[in-house]
Amino acid sequence: MNLPPSDPNGVTRRGFFQLTLGWVAGSFAATATVAAAVRFLVPNVLFEPGQRFKAGKPDDYPDGSITFLEDERVYLVRKGNTFRCLSAVCTHLGCTVNRAGKGYHCPCHGSVFNDEGGVESGPAPRALTWYLVALSKDNRLLVDKGQNVSADKYLVI
């Protein structure tokens, strides 16, 4: 083989095979490493309040009460034997709404919601969200913030 001295890439069949394989394996490893680094950064567990949470026993809430659950930012509404759960997050820009009179009031930009979460006034584009309430196997109220329901859907005990 008479190759130009400083052209080491002048390639034999064997060298061609070796180089290709090396580059393919190396590129694969590099790509996989980058992918693994990205995967490393995707959290597998969250340390924030969960989407589904238990809100205690039904009897913890007196009849006719509207209870604010701080950690979860929801209102738990009991009327007679029915339970509902209303999001306390304003649909405008995400502030926490306060119970005020016969409705809810957002302190940030003055949106006012009625008892059923509907917008009365202010910049809020949508009504407050109602979440699904169910009963768990150990007879606790189970709220799923992943599932929105309409205002007329109740859990009846």
Partner 1 sequence: MNDFSLRKFYGWFTLLGLVVGVLVIVGYYRDENRPWKVYQRKFLQEEIRRAVTPDQRLLAQNTPLQIRQILLPELNRVDRCTTCHLAVEDPSYGNFAQPLAYHPLHDQHPFDKFGCTVCHRGQGRATTVADAHGNVPFWNEPMLPTKYLQASCGQCHEAADNPAAPELARGNQLFETVGCRGCHKLGGVGGNLGPELDRVGARRAPEWLKQHFLSPATVTPGSGMPPQKFAEPDLEAIVLYMLSQTGANLPGFYGSMKVLPSVSEGRRLFQLKGCIGCHTVAGQGGKIGPALDDVGLRRKPEWMMQHFRDPQSVSPGSVMPRFGFTEAEARALTEFLVHLRDQKVSLSIPALMEPTVRGREVFRKYGCAGCHGPEGKGGVPNPNAKTAQQVPALTYVADGYTKPELKKLIVNGQREIVALDPHHPAPPLYMPAWGNTIKDAEIDDLVAYLFTLKPKGEDAGF
Partner 2 sequence: MNAPLPKRLWLWLAQTRVGRSVFRVGLPQSNLERSQAMVSSFLLHVQPAKVSRHALRASYTLGLGLISLYLFFILCGTGVLLMFYYVPSTAQAYDVMKDLQFVVSAGLVVRNMHRWAAHLMVLFVMLHMCRVFYTGAYKRPREFNWVIGVGLFLITLGLSFTGYLLPWDQLAFWAITVGTNIAGYAPIVGPKLKYLLLGGNVVGQDALTRFYALHVIVLPAIAGLMISVHLFRVRKDGGLSRPGEADDTSVESIPLAQLPTNKSYGLMELARGTTPQVGKNPDDEVFSWPHLVFRELLLFLLVIAVVLFLAIFWNAPLEEFANPIHPPNPAKAPWYFLGLQELVSYSAFWGGVVVPALLVTMLGVLPYIDRGRAGVGRWFARERTVANTIFTVCLIVAIVLTIIGTMFRGPNWGWVEPWGPPPAITEGH
Contacts to partner 2 by CB under 8 A: 6, 8-9, 11, 16, 19-20, 23-24, 26-27, 36-37, 39-45
CA distance 1 to 42: 53
Q: Which does 42 bind (CB under 5 to 8 A by kind): partner 2, partner 1, none?
A: partner 2
Select from partner 2, partner 1, none the partner in contact with residue 93, using the beta carbon and a kind-dependent cut-off of 5 to 8 Å.
none
Dist. CA 15–CA 51, nearest whole Å: 57
Classify residue 128 by its DSSP letter: P
> What does the angle CA 105 – CA 110 – CA 111 come to, to the nearest 5 degrees?
65
**How many residues line the site for partner 1 (CB under 8 A)?**
32
Applying CB under 8 A, does 64 fall inside the site for partner 1? no
| Subset of residues 19 to 38 that bind partner 1, contact rule: CB under 8 A | 19, 21-26, 28-29, 32-33, 36
CA 91/CA 118 separation, integer angstroms: 11
